[in-house]
């Protein structure tokens, strides 16, 4: 399956230390999800997923409530969901998911992030076929065997259940996100170290030191863009 979540988490942690940036992105994502349907997670599955993800990032209730209230109001802001694909050094691959109210601005910013750091944009489908859309949950305090038994008893179809560091991680198809979540909650597990819908690379790529430095510049620049929500890639960063 390519890189497991905890191999990605350490790199994310340094960027996620900028909590104001993370909170702002979640605020927008919650607003957009709530505008797609009812601003109620019990009747809006997309919103429920975003709120569960926000919980694992400790997004303050005030930010969540503000986004939901905005969605209930008369705001006429329209955001488009966009996906860009591109390449870095040595065949490295990148997927960029964005939410924007100005497509031209976003496309220009993403293109510049690649080109100014030695990468280049690809056409739709040039990269995504090498990644698998994946739901991933992480829990602590339970053994691998206990979690596997829970999934079997709930008849939930999962790809894999593995131990990584102190977590037990469940990997499943994206459409099984709620099934996995409900099975875990039914067993009394209400706190997750991870609750994500992500894109995992099918194969890892290790870069030489100079190429890794160049690649990290691409990723850092993309992640700092206001319109970019998620960046996925196939590089296994060396320590």
Q: 210-236, pLDDT tens digit by residue?
A: 999 999 999 999 999 999 999 999 998
For residue range 155-199, list pLDDT tens digits in order: 999 999 999 888 899 999 999 999 999 999 999 998 898 899 999
- Angstrom distance (rounded) from CA 229 to CA 22: 9
Among 3.40.50.10300, 3.30.70.980, 3.40.50.2020, 3.40.50.300, what is the CATH number of 80-129+202-233? 3.30.70.980
With a cut of 70, say whether residue 1 has pLDDT above it.
no
5-72 architecture in CATH?
Orthogonal Bundle (1.10)
What does the pLDDT look like over 51-109, one tens digit per residue?
A: 988 988 889 999 999 999 998 887 778 899 999 999 999 999 999 999 999 999 999 99
Give Dmax (Cα) for the chain.
Answer: 52
Q: Report the mean per-residue pLDDT for the chain.
A: 89
30 or 13: which leads in pLDDT: 30
Instruction: Name beta bridge partners: 132.
Output: 200
pLDDT given at position 75: 72
pTM of the predicted model as reported, rounded to 2 decimal places: 0.89
- Summarize pLDDT for 18-34 with one digit per residue, the tens: 678 889 999 999 999 99
* CATH superfamily placement of domain 131-201: YebC, transcriptional regulation domain (3.30.70.980)
Q: How far apart are CA 71 and CA 77, in angstroms?
A: 10
Q: How far apart are the first and last CA of the chain?
A: 21
Query: Phi/psi class of residue 118: alpha, beta or left (left: φ > 0; alpha: ψ in -120 to 50)?
Result: left
């Amino acid at each position: 399956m390519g890189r497991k979540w905890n191999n990605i988490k350490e790199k994310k942690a340094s960027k996620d230390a900028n909590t104001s940036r993370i909170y702002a992105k979640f605020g927008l994502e919650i607003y957009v999800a709530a505008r797609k349907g009812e601003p109620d997670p019990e009747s809006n599955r997309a919103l429920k997923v975003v709120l569960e993800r926000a919980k694992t990032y400790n997004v303050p209730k005030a930010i969540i409530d503000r986004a939901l209230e905005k969605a209930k109001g008369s705001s006429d802001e329209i955001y488009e969901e966009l996906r860009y694909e591109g390449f870095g050094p040595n065949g490295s691959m990148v997927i960029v998911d964005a939410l924007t109210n100005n497509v031209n601005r976003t496309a220009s910013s993403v293109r510049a992030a690649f080109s100014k750091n030695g990468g280049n944009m690809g056409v739709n489908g040039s990269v995504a076929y090498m990644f698998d859309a994946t739901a991933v949950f992480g829990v602590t305090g339970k053994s691998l065997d206990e979690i596997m038994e829970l999934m079997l008893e709930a008849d939930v179809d999962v790809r894999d259940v593995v131990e990584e560091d102190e977590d037990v991680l469940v990997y499943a198809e994206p459409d099984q996100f709620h099934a996995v979540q409900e099975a875990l909650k039914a067993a009394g597990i209400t706190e997750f170290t991870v609750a994500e819908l992500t894109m995992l690379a099918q194969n890892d790529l290790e870069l030489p030191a100079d190429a890794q430095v160049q690649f990290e510049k691409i990723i850092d620049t993309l992640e700092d863009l206001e319109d970019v929500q998620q960046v996925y890639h196939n590089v296994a960063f060396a320590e």
